[in-house]
Amino acid sequence: MWRHGERCVILAVAAVALVAAATATAAAAVGGERRTYIVHMSRSAKPNDFVEHGEWYAASLQSVSDAATVLYTYDTLVHGYSARLTRAEAEALESQPGVLLVNPEVRYELHTTRTPEFLGLDRTDALFPQSNTGSDVIVGVLDTGVWPERPSYDDAGLGPVPAGWKGKCEEGNDFNASACNKKLIGARFFLTGYEAAKGPVDTSKESRSPRDNDGHGTHTSSTAAGSAVRGADLLGYAAGTAKGMAPHARVATYKVCWVGGCFSSDILKAMEVAVNDGVDVLSLSLGGGTADYYRDSIAVGAYSAMERGIFVSCSAGNAGPGSATLSNGAPWITTVGAGTLDRDFPAHVVLGNGKNYSGVSLYSGKQLPTTPVPFIYAGNASNSSMGALCMSGSLIPEKVAGKIVLCDRGTNARVQKGFVVKDAGGAGMVLANTAANGEELVADAHVLPGAGVGQKAGDTMRAYSLSDPNPTASIVFAGTQVGIQPSPVVAAFSSRGPNTVTPGILKPDLIAPGVNILAAWSGSVGPSGLAGDSRRVGFNIISGTSMSCPHVSGLAALLRAAHQDWSPAAIRSALMTTSYNGYPNGNGILDVATGLPATPLDVGAGHVDPSKAVDPGLVYDIAAADYVDFLCAINYGPMQIAALTKHTTDACSGNRTYAVTALNYPSFSVTFPATGGTEKHTRTVTNVGQPGTYKVTASAAAGSTPVTVSVEPSTLTFTKSGEKQSYTVSFAAAAMPSGTNGFGRLVWSSDHHVVSSPIAVTWT
């Protein structure tokens, strides 16, 4: 997510918008170097000599290593275990009978209030008449833990913990079982894999417990299902009532992320425990790059969770605006990108030449003098080649003392640059975007008077500071403003499609609010998350797909409460087919990175609209068996499918033809060769509304070149709820240069409902 600055260079089933792409836990093991591997076993292959599967797992491990021990045993979501092995031991183990796959562990990274009103949820009980039953819905959040004392976890008005709940509140340093209540009904932590890779947790820096010393986990879980808190704000900004999307739902947190990252062996075990505990929704604002689904621990765990009726939502990542940058693209995961709210925190930078430039800031403290202050570009106040970035120790105090310093954004954290300026005696800071960030603005709680501005303004200010013999500037902070238009716009950092693992599945699925989101925060760190920030706040404003993901998780909890018989696929379908991709004036949602209308590769189906999702009319449902057919269609072999599904028999029949285009997804991703051609998709819709007749409209084009879209039949009539009807879509296109994209929409309309699906067309 876009945490408190570029703590990671890029910043991205929830970290304060951190980097989306995960890196391998370590470089490929060589020689005798050990790393963690996850061993997938065929449960039915256990020899009769062993009574328990755990005994068999231990024996298989001992057959290749005298030194290795089992870290975790996995019994439900997957069958197998994790252990520290050399590469040679892992290869030897993979050749043993009963072993399906041996996958190296991956380190995942975190993808780091006005929102209910913006989404039309200020009248939740009226929109979701069953929302009071939402108190029986449990949202599980895998993240950095929880700060349980925050009022967002107040359980006033909630009844007993739902029957059948098996979770618990685990104790550790600075965390007692009494920290949980009828709102926060579970809190666990997982670090066996982390400590095996990184060594013991340093308890002087973080709690060896469910306690959140980072802030990200508290922010995401309270965004999803936090109780209503009056008088919430960050340093006076965004004042009002803060509440989660599903304020009556229960929360269970699973701490899997530590100072050194989030490790897949811990994540997979936490997902297994969460499913066994009894969660209804899993929210993961984590990312691990892209890999085949059977090698992606989140995808593996999410598949089994889906089989048990659990909705899994994940952040798309913060690696945008480049194409093909998203993670968590498995079709059984709901993949969420980020957009803005209609709220902003403007700050105005006025130069000595009278020019005024708009930026953003969450600074609260002593103001600058009312008269202009000397202004200098950091690149001219340093002897370092990195001086323009305001890196630690790079500024010459004699040149910046008492001045506003213009710093280039990038490399080190945004707020960290303010510390550097302040330590050198500077009076204020303007943080200027470079080409890497363009015009996207993310507000920060700076430690000195400071504001962020876009690239164009930064370039102009830089030129002014270098050309004027006595440059001056001032910064005026304008507080909180709402009603900003246009909104939403797609965040530049939000990761984009196409889906590199399976281009035939359009991702992301949709976008939700993910920029400048106010939610609860840890008491261990300041709003910047930096070690030198001594400020402590109850709420913080941060940005990232880490923030948009829990919005959708909470909305899924509302839909689960209102429609308890809906599958995870039906819930996702309702959210997608009722999303909007344009403004009331008819113009398309804009992409802040380009200033142009966004495409389905940026927003999927569009921006979530919960007031319509509760009554979608039709849904595209998908059963577990349909996903198995999909795996056959992408040519996964028996062991790869078994690692995902635990089906030990050959799931793919030689007598059948499998096609990705047959997966009943609520969107269409069409691929043509450069020479053009045809492609046919089949879909089935289920009526979940009143009887009615739906008529279809469909079109797509690449610029001015149309794509022929034919739907048969063109009319669907439903006489009762639960009735299913199928249709076929045929796409045809002429030759186009390789890499060309086209877009469109297929819409079924009745007297009461509009069921809309995006179309993305690519010539390869």
Catalytic residue annotation = 143, 216, 546
Per DSSP, the three-state class of 360 is strand
Q: Could you tell me the two tokens for 319?
A: 């690696």
The C-alpha atoms of residue 696 and residue 749 are separated, in whole angstroms, by: 6
- Return d(Cα 616, Cα 612) in angstroms, integer: 6
Q: Are 249 and 223 in contact (CB under 8 A)?
A: no
Integer Cα distance of 71 and 91 in angstroms: 18
Q: Closest Cα to residue 401, out of 423, 384, 385?
A: 423
Looking at this protein, which amino acid is placed at residue 89?
A: E
Element of type H or E holding 267? helix 264-277
Q: In sequence order, which ranges of 494-621 are alpha helices (DSSP H)?
A: 545-562, 568-577, 600-603, 610-613
Token pair for residue 419? 């510390």
Please count the residues of the chain: 764
Q: Which two tokens stand for residue 171?
A: 């104790």
Report which residue type is found at 316.
A
Pick from 336, 265, 332: nearest CA to 302: 332
Expressed in percent and rounded to 5, the helix, strand and coil fractions of the chain are 25, 30, 50
Give the residue from 316, 322, 317, 289 showing the smallest Cα distance to 593.
Answer: 322
Q: For 210, how many CA atoms within 13 A lie in the half-sphere containing its CB?
A: 26
- Calpha distance 720→86 (Å, rounded): 60
Q: What is the DSSP string of 406-470?
A: EEE-BSB-HHHHHHHHHHTT-SEEEEE--TTTTT-------SSSEEEE-HHHHHHHHHHHHH-SS
C-alpha to C-alpha distance for 673 and 656, rounded to whole angstroms? 25
CA 141 to CA 143: how far, in whole Å?
6
Buried b (16+ CB within 10 A) or exposed e, 41-61: bbbeebeeeeeebeebbbebb
Cβ count within 10 A of residue 109 = 29
Distances (CA, A) of 672 to 504, 659, 676, 730, 742: 11, 15, 5, 12, 11
- Asked whether 233 and 113 are in contact (CB, 8 A), the reply is no
In 14-166, which residue ranges form alpha helices assigned H by DSSP? 53-62, 87-94, 115-118, 124-127
CB–CB of 435/416 below 8 Å? no
Cα 473 from Cα 98, distance rounded (Å): 70
Round to whole Å and give the CA distance between 524 and 174.
Answer: 11
Cα separations in angstroms, 359 against 347, 433, 457, 527, 629: 5, 11, 9, 19, 51
